[in-house]
């Protein structure tokens, strides 16, 4: 009966909590959360609320509850060094230490790591800490992507054609980024389709999980501003229909080589999730970025499909014995739709922006699974915050059936909310297939 500490308060952590408590090892779950997630609270023996920079509060709670190991959900506590702090009091974690978490927290670190260890997948790129040379480099690239070096909550990346049009604007944006960030990464923009490859890693062994496609844009048809992710789908064969087997092999190969490079570079084994955001291009898979944790929403696609006991998975990650565990996922399709406040991701002067903080009713979601994200549970009910509210997941033998289940579940959430109706539809997936065919014909 292990005592497990979960750190995090989103829908991803609600899915993690569910995976932990359904273990046959009969774990007792203790959760440290920045905000009270009612779904996680209902599954936990005890919760403690506090900020993720308050390492003393997290370690104090862990000590009090005699925690055997911790599972760290979001990047924020990883960035603050929660894994190092827990290790100092003898508690191991599923999650990288602060130095290894640079895989996500410093895009410049990761680009340079791939270059130094001759790992394929990088775009043409340069890291700048001043504007010197930026214009000249911009002029060598056809189209560019600009990334502040640091955590941006998935919303800091600026893409030519989406967020700005010209190289002059790119230069001005670099100047703006350098006011807040120590450096800016200027990269070649890739044309292709994105996929999420979430891998489990014990420092030596890297195990891929079913591929997922996330949808970052706020509105149907991939329109509107980028968000933390509006929803995602996965298919029964654990692949995506616009990919070639070589794309997946390349993504896995890059991740294996990055895990080895991280060990060589830091001397510490990476224990946790290496979530590669890849893009399939005409020349194969390329790396957009790594995250040092499960994806949100992507965790909600894969964790419910996990047939292997999740507590065993965690123990093998911590012990460095993943090579001895058979990790299996059900051959089913999943569709996750995020229900968000109408104003989510919109500029403050947009008429819908005021919909945040309103009260919502959550009825029966039928066959769907419901994962709470940013909701505020008060005495008189549930209230929206400014962020994504509830993840609704349909799971079935076919994508169409999974989508129908998710759609029906979404309708159970009443209030000033919105969601993307097109996620998991044949039309949207066909658009991805046609796009890939246009850039790399058979």
**Three-class DSSP category at 262:** helix
Q: For residues 73 and 18, what is the distance between their CA atoms, to the nearest angstrom?
A: 13
- Cβ–Cβ contacts within 10 Å for residue 117, how many? 14
Contact status: 76 vs ligand GLY (CB under 6 A)? no
**Three-class DSSP category at 420:** coil
Closest contact distance (angstroms) between CB of 79 and ligand GLY is 13
**Three-class DSSP category at 193:** strand
Contact status: 13 vs ligand GLY (CB under 6 A)? no
**Three-class DSSP category at 173:** helix
Q: Select 236 or 276, whichever has its Cβ closest to ligand GLY.
A: 276
Among 23, 435, 427, 432, smallest CA distance to 211 is for: 432
Q: Select 236 or 277, whichever has its Cβ closest to ligand GLY.
A: 277
Of 3-11, 255-263, 295-303, 406-414, the window that binds ligand GLY (rule: CB under 6 A) is 295-303
The position carrying tokens 């959760």 is 31
18, 76, 298, 407: which one binds ligand GLY (CB under 6 A): 298
Provide the pairing of β-strand 369-372 with 417-418. unpaired
Q: 259 vs 84, 163, 313, CA distance in Å?
A: 19, 33, 18
Q: 342 vs 94, 141, 364, 404, 414, CA distance in Å?
A: 35, 37, 21, 22, 12
Closest contact distance (angstroms) between CB of 185 and ligand GLY is 17
Contact status: 8 vs ligand GLY (CB under 6 A)? no
Among 193, 324, 203, smallest CA distance to 266 is for: 203
Of 53-61, 176-184, 294-302, 329-337, the window that binds ligand GLY (rule: CB under 6 A) is 294-302
Q: For residues 63 and 367, what is the distance between their CA atoms, to the nearest angstrom?
A: 39
Q: Select 291 or 373, whichever has its Cβ closest to ligand GLY.
A: 291
Q: Select 152 or 331, whichever has its Cβ closest to ligand GLY.
A: 152
Q: For residues 30 and 233, what is the distance between their CA atoms, to the nearest angstrom?
A: 30
Closest contact distance (angstroms) between CB of 213 and ligand GLY is 10
Q: For residues 353 and 256, what is the distance between their CA atoms, to the nearest angstrom?
A: 43
CB-CB contact of 248 with 340 (8 Å): no
296, 343, 374, 390: which one binds ligand GLY (CB under 6 A): 296
Closest contact distance (angstroms) between CB of 301 and ligand GLY is 10
Q: For residues 178 and 184, what is the distance between their CA atoms, to the nearest angstrom?
A: 7
User: What mask of x and - would describe binding to ligand GLY in positions 135 to 154, judged by CB under 6 A?
Assistant: -------------------x
Contact status: 391 vs ligand GLY (CB under 6 A)? no
Contact status: 295 vs ligand GLY (CB under 6 A)? yes
Q: For residues 5 and 32, what is the distance between their CA atoms, to the nearest angstrom?
A: 7
93, 160, 291, 425: which one binds ligand GLY (CB under 6 A): 291
Contact status: 84 vs ligand GLY (CB under 6 A)? no
Closest contact distance (angstroms) between CB of 277 and ligand GLY is 7
Closest contact distance (angstroms) between CB of 12 and ligand GLY is 7
229, 341, 343, 394: which one binds ligand GLY (CB under 6 A): 229
Q: Select 148 or 154, whichever has its Cβ closest to ligand GLY.
A: 154
φ and ψ at 177, to 5 degrees? -60, -40
- Cβ–Cβ contacts within 10 Å for residue 149, how many? 22
Residues 178-217 that bind ligand GLY (CB under 6 A): 214
Of 38-46, 122-130, 236-244, 290-298, the window that binds ligand GLY (rule: CB under 6 A) is 290-298
Q: Select 291 or 334, whichever has its Cβ closest to ligand GLY.
A: 291
φ and ψ at 155, to 5 degrees? -120, 5
Number of residues that bind ligand GLY (CB under 6 A): 7
Contact status: 18 vs ligand GLY (CB under 6 A)? no
Q: Select 32 or 294, whichever has its Cβ closest to ligand GLY.
A: 294
CB-CB contact of 30 with 66 (8 Å): no
Binding site for ligand GLY (CB under 6 A): 154, 214, 229, 291, 295-296, 298
């Amino acid at each position: 009966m292990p005592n497990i500490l979960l750190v995090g308060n989103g829908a991803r952590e609600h899915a993690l909590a569910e995976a932990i408590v359904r273990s046959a090892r009969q774990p007792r779950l203790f959760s440290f959360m920045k905000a009270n997630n009612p779904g996680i609270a209902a599954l936990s023996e005890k919760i403690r609320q506090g900020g993720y920079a308050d390492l003393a509060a997290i370690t104090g709670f862990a000590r009090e509850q005699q925690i055997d190991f911790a599972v760290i959900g979001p990047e924020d506590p990883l960035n603050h060094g929660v894994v190092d702090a827990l290790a100092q009091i003898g508690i191991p974690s599923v999650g990288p230490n602060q130095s290894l978490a640079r895989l996500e927290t410093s895009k410049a670190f990761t680009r340079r790591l791939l270059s130094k260890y001759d790992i394929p997948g990088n775009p043409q790129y340069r890291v700048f800490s001043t504007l010197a040379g930026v214009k000249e480099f911009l002029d060598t690239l056809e189209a560019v992507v600009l990334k502040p070096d640091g955590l941006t909550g998935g919303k800091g990346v600026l893409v030519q054609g989406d967020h700005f049009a010209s190289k002059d604007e790119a230069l001005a944006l670099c100047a703006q980024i350098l006011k807040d960030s120590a450096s800016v990464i200027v990269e070649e923009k890739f044309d292709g389709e994105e996929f999420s490859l979430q891998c489990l890693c014990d420092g030596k062994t890297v195990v891929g999980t079913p591929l997922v496609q996330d949808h970052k844009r706020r509105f149907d048809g991939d329109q509107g501003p980028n968000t933390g992710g509006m929803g995602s789908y996965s298919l029964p064969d654990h692949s995506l229909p616009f990919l070639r087997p070589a794309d997946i092999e390349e993504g896995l190969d890059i991740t294996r080589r990055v895990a080895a490079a991280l060990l060589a570079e830091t001397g510490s084994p990476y224990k946790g999730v290496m979530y590669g955001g890849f893009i399939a291009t005409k020349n194969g898979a390329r790396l957009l970025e790594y995250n040092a944790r499960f994806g949100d929403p992507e965790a909600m696609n894969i964790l419910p499909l996990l047939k292997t006991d999740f507590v065993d998975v965690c123990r093998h990650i911590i012990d460095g014995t993943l090579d001895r565990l058979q990790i299996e996922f059900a051959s089913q399709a999943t569709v996750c739709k995020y229900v968000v406040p109408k104003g989510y991701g919109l500029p403050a002067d947009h008429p819908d922006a005021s919909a945040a903080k309103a009260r919502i009713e959550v009825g029966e979601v039928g066959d769907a699974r419901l994962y709470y994200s940013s909701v505020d549970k008060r005495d008189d009910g549930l209230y929206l915050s400014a962020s994504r509210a509830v993840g609704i997941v349909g799971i079935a033998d076919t994508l169409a059936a999974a989508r129908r289940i998710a759609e029906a579940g979404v309708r159970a959430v009443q209030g000033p909310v919105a969601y993307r109706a097109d996620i998991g539809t044949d039309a949207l997936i066909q658009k991805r297939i046609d796009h890939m065919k246009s850039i790399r014909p058979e």
